[in-house]
């Protein structure tokens, strides 16, 4: 199983289409291979998509599935549903603006949040016309060892701090 991304740039949206190639016997190893082929740096615009795959992978780890074992029926069903959702709905994102688009003063704004499954940090840019543009995102899945929501929110804040510094 592999995942390809077709990127279409047109104003004012960047549209991502996911194209799936089905292969026999999906395994934990093949899922990690497919996830690692999706290039999400440096802006992280498709983090919401990738984090869903990472949460699924975390489920494989939680159920102690070996690297080359066939997936259990429930996990295989979740994987197929995720792939079907991605293939059916193109992901549209606002285009990345440059400093020449700002026309005056601008300010960066950051936001972070967490759930029991994942935490995230997002950086926006607001120009003098009060237009807000997504600049960068970063998501991480929560550790296997259970954490409290406040602890995960602090991890999100650390992630956000790192985004502002780079």
For the chain, what is the mean pLDDT?
Answer: 77
Provide CB contacts within 8 A for 56, sequence distance 6+: 31, 75, 78, 79, 82
User: Would you say 43 and 96 are in contact if contact means Cβ atoms under 8 Å apart?
Assistant: yes
Residue 6 and residue 83 in one domain: yes
Please give the C-alpha separations between residue 99 and each of 35, 124, 126, 139, in angstroms, as whole numbers.
32, 13, 11, 25
Question: Looking at residue 147, what is its pLDDT?
Answer: 92
Token pair for 2: 């592999």
Global pTM exceeds 0.85: no
One domain, residues 71 and 88 = yes
Please give the pLDDT value at position 91.
63
Same domain flag for 66 and 53: yes
**What confidence score (pLDDT) does residue 5 get?**
46
- pLDDT tens track for 68-109: 888 888 888 888 888 788 777 766 655 555 555 556 678 888
Which of these three, 93, 119, 140, is where a domain ends?
93
What burial class does residue 112 get, using C-beta atoms within 10 Å of its C-beta: 0-12 exposed, 13-18 middle, 19+ buried?
A: buried
Q: Which domain holds residue 55?
A: 2-93
- CA dist., res. 5 & res. 7, Å (int): 6
107 plus 73 within the same structural domain: no
Q: Looking at the structure, tell me whether residues 88 and 48 fall in a common domain.
A: yes
Burial class from Cβ neighbours inside 10 Å (0-12, 13-18, 19+) for residue 157 reads: middle
CA distances from 59 to 9, 63, 77 (A): 34, 6, 13
Total number of domains in the chain: 2
pLDDT in tens, 20-30: 565 557 788 88
Give yes or no: residues 106 and 77 share one domain: no
Of 62, 138, 61, 50, which is closest to residue 86 (Cα–Cα)? Answer: 50
DSSP string spanning 41-78? Answer: TTT-TTHHHHHHHHHHHHHHHHTT--TTSBPPHHHHHH
Task: List the structure tokens of 103.
Answer: 């026309």
Same domain, residue pair 79 and 122: no
Q: How far apart are CA 125 and CA 102, in angstroms?
A: 9
């Amino acid at each position: 199983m592999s995942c390809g991304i077709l990127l279409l740039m047109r104003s004012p949206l960047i549209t991502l289409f996911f194209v799936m190639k089905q292969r026999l016997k999906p395994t934990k190893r093949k899922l990690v291979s497919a996830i690692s082929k999706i290039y999400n740096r440096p802006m992280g615009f498709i983090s919401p998509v990738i984090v869903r795959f990472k949460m699924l992978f975390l489920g494989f780890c939680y159920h102690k599935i070996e690297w080359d074992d066939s997936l259990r029926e429930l996990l295989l069903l979740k994987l197929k549903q995720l792939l079907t959702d991605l293939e059916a709905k193109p992901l549209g994102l606002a285009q990345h603006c440059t400093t020449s688009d700002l026309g005056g003063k601008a300010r960066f704004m950051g936001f972070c949040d967490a759930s029991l499954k994942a935490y995230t940090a997002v950086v926006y840019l607001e120009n003098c016309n009060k237009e807000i543009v997504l600049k960068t995102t970063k998501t991480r899945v929560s550790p296997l060892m259970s954490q409290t929501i406040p602890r995960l929110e602090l991890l999100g804040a650390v992630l956000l701090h790192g985004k502002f510094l780079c």
